[in-house]
Amino acid sequence: MTSKGNDVIFPLLLFIAVFKNTFGKNWDFGIDEDATSQDYPRDSLSNFTEFARNYGYAAEEHTVITEDGYILSIFRIPKGKNCRGRVRQPPVLLMHGLLQSSDSWLDAGPSAGLAFLISDACYDLWVGNVRGTYYGRRNVRLNPDADSQFWNFTSHEMGILDVPSIINYMLNETGSSELIYVGYSQGARIFFIMCSETFGYCDKIKVSINIAPAARVKYTRSVPIQLLTRFYAVTEPFLSGPRELEVLQKEGLIQKASSFFCKDSILAGTVCRAALALIDSYDPGSILTQTIRVLFGHFPAGTSARNLAVFGQNVIAGRFQKYDYGPSKNLELYGTVNPPLYNLNRTNMPVVLLHSENDLLVDSKDVQWLSAQLPNLIESYKVRHSTWTHFDNCYSRYTNITIFLKIREYLHKYSKYGSV
């Protein structure tokens, strides 16, 4: 099923690559840096620990096993590079968005990747991964290449199983009784799902900072995301077998082709930049060509067709709701004809939201709606930079002066220096 998109994208990229190599020599594409390089950049081939260590950050790898047997690799940068043993408590958990992984927080490099910035501010930083990504593609019983059941999940299971297991693991490992949650896009969605559907976990969150939170997605304007998720909303019930149920995985055709073409500085600065702008929106000069060369080594990171389907269903319904099985099975499973809404009333710890006008994936109108549902909203902050996009939150060179100042304000407010 993923090959549908390749039918268009792959020949297009190929055409441009050939065209560029034949005629492009004398063209000035206005490339901002590293214009001569055509090899894979080192960072695009690195995993989290290698990437962080290459910049002098001591990263650890940890393995979390969920209640239903998914094996997740998560990462920790226990002390900032220049913190001399003084680390603020409680620990911080950073969760990536849809089709991303922990590595997305490094791709913009040490001056802009949020994992670097939070660590530099002297926090005990944990960077999570959810099931279905290349760091969550294992299970104690199920084989992702052979068992369809492995791919039978959505953001619901990430919220009720993955995040709680990561929290248990972190608290046990650090001896802390609480933590700070920072979630982006789907990473925020699964936080609200956890609070709605589980007991005892949200009480352990001191403050939850949510960047471009994808809870209700009624006003999502991105045409490619609409098409992709609506496509799966319609076709997913008819898919079968792991090869159809796993989508946009690392080492899949789309990711391999994207990383192959986008490693080239000229293509990265033109075609790949345009592709990102087409999915999201355009913020001139914000994402470095070098970051684009690196990020496609880690994106898309894979998920289930069913997870994309539930996003599509939510876009169509304009509601923050559970998977829709159709009226009769809904009635059987949920006791109602329509899928139940997630209950945002239960998210009763302090919550901070960040959003922006030029984000075509998570619209400010949906974030406004979300703010009104939350019983303990501290601040809903609209990013000052008027062209700030959805992807800017992880990939922009300017995260430090746009979103991180606000994030740091709340990290600081809800933490203090502790002994390590």
Ligand X SMILES: *[C@@H]1O[C@H](CO)[C@@H](O)[C@H](O)[C@H]1NC(C)=O
In terms of Cα–Cα distance, which of 113, 124, 79 is closest to 394?
Answer: 113
Burial letters for 168-200: b for 16+ Cβ neighbours within 10 Å, e otherwise?
A: ebbbebbebebbbbbbbbbbbbbbbbbbbbbee
Residues forming the active site: 185, 359, 390
Kindly tell me which of 160 and 268 has the beta carbon lying closer to ligand X.
Answer: 160
Six-digit token pair at 395? Answer: 């990939």
Kindly tell me which of 62 and 256 has the beta carbon lying closer to ligand X.
Answer: 62
> What span, in angstroms and rounded, lies between the C-alpha atoms of 374 and 382?
17
Kindly tell me which of 33 and 61 has the beta carbon lying closer to ligand X.
Answer: 61
Smallest distance, ligand X to C-beta of residue 207, A? 21
Kindly tell me which of 137 and 390 has the beta carbon lying closer to ligand X.
Answer: 137
The residues pairing with 182 across neighbouring beta strands, listed in sequence order, are 94, 209
DSSP H or E stretch at residue 115 = helix 114-120
Q: How many CA atoms lie within 13 A of 92 on its CB side?
A: 31
In terms of Cα–Cα distance, which of 171, 232, 167, 172 is closest to 199?
Answer: 167
CB atoms within 10 A of CB 279: 17
Smallest distance, ligand X to C-beta of residue 356, A? 19
Smallest distance, ligand X to C-beta of residue 273, A? 23
Smallest distance, ligand X to C-beta of residue 173, A? 6
DSSP H or E stretch at residue 351 = strand 351-355
Residues interacting with ligand X, by CB under 6 A?
A: 47, 49-50, 61, 73, 111, 148-149, 152, 169, 172, 343, 345, 400
Kindly tell me which of 176 and 400 has the beta carbon lying closer to ligand X.
Answer: 400
Burial class (CB in 10 A: 0-12, 13-18, 19+), 162: buried
Look at phi and psi of residue 383 and say left if phi exceeds 0, alpha if psi is from -120 to 50, else beta. Answer: beta
Kindly tell me which of 32 and 61 has the beta carbon lying closer to ligand X.
Answer: 61
Would you call 342 helix, strand, or coil by DSSP?
Answer: coil
Smallest distance, ligand X to C-beta of residue 75, A? 8
Where would I find the H helices in 198-304?
Answer: 223-235, 242-245, 253-262, 265-267, 273-279, 289-295
